[in-house]
Each structure stands twice: as C-alpha cells, then as structure tokens.
C-alpha cells in the first residue's frame, strides 16, 4: 500500500507527527519492516508477532506518539566482526521501534532529500553503490588520478547529538518529532542484561540511522562542492578525486580540520590516505591503472568472500555436496550480482576453482577409507587401476582434491548440474543482459 502524500499545507496544519501515524504511512512502514525481517530486540518480540501486538497496543502507542509521550525501548547490542579486523557495534531496536523509525523515515526523507548533494549515493531513493562506482571511474578517466580516501573513525558511534538535532530543527518544526528522534538517539544500549546510557552516536541497526547520517554529512558535501572538488560519498565512505598528489595532501589536512571543528568527527589516519585509485578500494571495488581504468574486485572483497565460504563449509563432513551447494547459493549469487561491474576476470575464476576444490575436499574426507574412495572414483568413470592407485596414494585430502583424478571424476560440469553458482559465469551473464 502506498503511503499518502502530504502537502506542505497539510503538514504545516496537522504537524509531522500526524503524518507519521497516518494509516497509509504506517501500513507501508509495517510492510517494509516485515520484508526486512531482522532479529528481535530487548523485548524478544519477533517480526511474525508484530501484527498481533499492534492489534492490541497500537491505539495506546498512537496516543502516546501524538501526545509526545512515547519513550523508545533500549536497543540490543550486537557486535559483529569487520572484514578488516575489529568489531562493528550494531544497536537492534525492538520491532515496534523499527516500525516507528521506518514511519518517521518515510515522512522525513522527502523533506531532506532535495537538500542532499548529487555526489551522495548512499541510502537514497534511486541511488546506489554502482552509480557511485561508475562516477568515480569517470573522474579517474578524466585525469584525476589521485584519490583522497577518507575513513571516519567509528562514525556511527561518534555522531554529536546536539549538532545533529540542530540540523534537523532547521527543517522540522514539529517539536514532538524532534523530541522523539532525540529519545531514539539517547536510548540506552543493552548488553548482558545491563543498559548503558548513550550521549553520542546513532548505532547502525535502525531504519532512521542512514537518513540521519546523510543529514549530518551534507555539510561535508557542501564544503567539497564550495571548493570545486569532484567526489563520491556513500554514507561515511568518501573519496575525493584530484589531479596531483600535493593537492590531495593539502585537501586531506583541511578536511581533517573541517570535520573535527565543524562536525565533531575524527578522521582515522591509519585507514585514510592520499594514493592512486588502483592502490585503494571503494565500496568493495578497485580500479586498474589504464588510461581508461577498468573496475576490478578489490583484494579485500575476495578475502572476505573466502572467509565467508570457509565459515559456511565448516563442519561439512555430515552434509551432502548438494546440501552444501544450497547453503552457498544465496551468498554466491548475491556476491556475483553486486560485483557484476567487474571488468576483469581477476579473482573470479580463481575463487570458482577454489570453491570447487573445497567441495572435492569434503567428498574425499567423507569417503574416509581407500576402498570407499576407489569405489566412488570408479562410479564416476575412472578405470579400476587408476581409481585404486589414486585411493591409496597416501596423500592428504587437500592434495587429492586438487589432483587430476578428482578433477576428472568431478569436473565443473558436475558442480554446474548441482546448481553451484559460478561467479565468473554469473558475472559475465549479468553483464551481457545489462
């Protein structure tokens, strides 16, 4: 169901909170929360239980929202590992708070969207990471072959509440909405049964955080535009493209000072750099050094995929290869769709071969004894002499998984017949149809 479009006059008369709790807006918010699924919050209420909960409690919740008396629950702390090391902290709101945040987002997005920069691509309707990558590629092709790669240190944990609220107040006149957003910012974070208060940050995990990050970082966009720079920003990931290294070094110094003084944010010096674009990664991609650079998959992205596949195949001895293929399919397909812009085969064919190697290794381990190994190799078409010689060679599972006898018995076509996603084949097919 489409949310009702409120006119400026209606918003000015009824107030933004009335637009937030309007039935059409709530129905759309509910639909999106259900589609996104997600874990339960501190109250352990699940997405599937939300509908019945709202039937009983929505009139009371609505009245509290309209009266400015609603207080969000604490968020549940979840720490997840980052690909480059360390941990990222997520704050998981309750499903009711996710619903209200989504409803707020749907009303606030049209108000702030016209104020955002054309160079901002993250968490905006009609914009995505692929557009940012294509634009970055154009900048490098035009001769701007140095990049100022800025990494903001723990951005979502360091957002200054007062500064953010002052920017919201410039466009939002409904005090109830402003008070509610501040309450969401200050909602405690629960870990191990204890609630810790928060005085800064907007933890990732709620529907409102991406919009709030764009509102705050618009000042950075405007400063870069004022200076005439070409750049691409996706959430807190910002790359500025310049023609000379010296210009990049100066810009890095000025932006570090600007971010600290104006936005109370810190540049992570260890992860930020002025470098050639092909020495850095942006949104999981890198580039070649050609005069007309080609997009390629960053080494860090390949390492992340490798670690993910290893995790999925851990303890696989009791599973059939068909079951393991089913387990891998959504990960590999999603990965291939995101990296369909890759213009080089580097890494794709290698990862395909490595995944098949891992699966052959699972088979070899499952067979355990020489008799079982010989029998299975003969069933796959190897003659008796070769099968027994291979089964009794005394080598380990990994060596045998990459040996000619396993390749002959279980070629790529066999894995294709099981539905194993080939990264190279999928990327090339997506490129042909796009």
**Other CB atoms within 10 A of residue 235 CB:** 20
- Global pTM value: 0.88
Handedness of CA 212, 218, 219, 221 (dihedral sign): positive
**Separation CA 359–CA 345 (nearest Å):** 22
pLDDT in tens, 283-332: 999 999 999 999 999 999 999 999 999 999 988 777 899 999 999 999 99
Phi, psi of 193 (to 5 degrees): 85, -5
Predicted local distance difference test score (pLDDT) of residue 12: 45
**Separation CA 251–CA 232 (nearest Å):** 15
Q: What is the pLDDT along the chain (434 residues), one digit of tens a residue?
A: 455 555 554 444 348 999 999 999 999 999 999 998 888 888 889 999 999 999 999 999 999 999 999 999 988 887 776 655 556 677 888 999 999 999 999 999 999 999 999 999 999 999 999 999 999 999 999 999 999 999 998 888 888 999 999 999 999 999 999 999 999 998 877 776 666 766 677 777 789 999 999 999 999 999 999 999 999 999 999 999 999 999 999 999 999 999 999 999 999 999 999 999 999 999 999 999 999 999 999 999 999 999 999 999 988 777 899 999 999 999 999 999 999 999 998 789 999 999 999 999 999 999 999 999 999 999 999 999 999 999 999 999 999 999 999 999 999 999 999 999 999 999 999 999 87
Mind giving me the DSSP string for 173-199? --HHHHHHHHHHHH--EEETTEEEP-S
CA angle 164, 13, 115 (to 5 degrees): 35
Q: Where are the extended beta strands (E) located within 245-316?
A: 273-275, 285-287, 295-297
pLDDT in tens, 174-212: 999 999 999 999 887 777 666 676 667 777 778 999 999
**Tokens 């902290």 label which residue?**
89
Beta-carbon-side half-sphere exposure of residue 138 (alpha carbons within 13 Å): 10
- Residue 120: exposed, middle, or buried by beta-carbon count in 10 A (0-12, 13-18, 19+)? buried
CB neighbour burial string for 239-264, b if at least 16 within 10 angstroms, e if fewer: bbbbeeeebbeebbeebbebbeeebe
pLDDT in tens, 253-283: 999 999 999 999 999 999 999 999 999 999 9
What helix, strand, coil percent values describe the chain, rounded to 5?
55, 10, 30
Query: Between the CA of residue 187 and those of 211, 257, 347, what are the distances in Å?
Result: 18, 30, 44
**Separation CA 125–CA 132 (nearest Å):** 14
């Amino acid at each position: 169901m489409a949310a009702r479009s409120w006119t400026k006059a209606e918003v000015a008369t009824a107030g933004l909170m009335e637009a937030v709790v309007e039935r059409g807006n709530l129905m759309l918010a509910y639909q999106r929360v259900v589609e996104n699924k997600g874990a339960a919050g501190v109250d352990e209420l699940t997405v599937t239980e939300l509908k019945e909960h709202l039937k009983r409690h929505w009139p009371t919740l609505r009245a509290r929202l309209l009266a400015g008396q609603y207080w969000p629950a604490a968020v549940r702390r979840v720490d997840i590992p980052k690909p480059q090391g360390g941990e990222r902290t997520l704050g998981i709101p309750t499903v009711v708070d996710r619903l209200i945040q989504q409803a707020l987002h749907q009303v606030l997005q049209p108000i702030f969207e016209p104020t955002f920069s054309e160079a901002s691509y993250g968490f905006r309707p009609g914009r995505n990471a692929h557009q940012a990558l294509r634009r970055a590629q154009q900048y490098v092709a035009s001769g701007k072959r140095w990049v100022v790669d800025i990494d903001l240190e723990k951005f979502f944990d360091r957002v200054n509440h007062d500064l953010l609220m002052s920017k919201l107040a410039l466009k939002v006149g409904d005090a109830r909405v402003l008070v509610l957003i501040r309450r969401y910012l200050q909602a405690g974070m629960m870990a191990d049964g204890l609630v810790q208060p928060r005085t800064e940050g907007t933890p990732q995990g709620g529907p409102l955080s991406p919009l709030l990050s764009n509102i705050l970082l618009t000042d950075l966009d405007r400063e870069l535009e004022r200076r005439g720079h070409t750049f691409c920003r996706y959430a807190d990931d910002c790359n500025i493209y310049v023609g000379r290294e010296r210009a990049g070094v100066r810009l890095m110094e000025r932006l570090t000072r600007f971010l600290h003084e104006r936005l109370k944010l810190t540049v992570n010096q260890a992860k930020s750099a002025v470098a050639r674009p092909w020495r850095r990664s942006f949104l999981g991609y890198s580039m070649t050094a050609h005069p007309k650079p080609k997009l390629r998959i960053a080494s860090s992205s390949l390492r992340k995929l490798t670690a993910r596949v290893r995790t999925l195949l851990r303890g696989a001895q009791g599973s059939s290869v068909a079951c393991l293929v089913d387990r891998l399919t959504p990960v590999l397909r999603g990965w291939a769709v995101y990296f369909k812009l890759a213009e080089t085969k580097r890494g794709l064919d290698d990862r395909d071969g490595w995944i098949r190697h891992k699966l052959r290794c699972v088979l070899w381990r499952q067979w355990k004894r020489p008799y079982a190994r010989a029998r299975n190799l003969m069933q796959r078409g190897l003659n008796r002499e070769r099968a027994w010689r291979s089964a009794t060679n005394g080598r380990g599972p990994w060596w045998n998984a990459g040996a000619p006898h396993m390749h002959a018995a279980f070629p790529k076509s066999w894995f294709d017949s099981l539905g194993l996603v080939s990264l190279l084949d999928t990327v090339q097919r997506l490129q042909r149809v796009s």
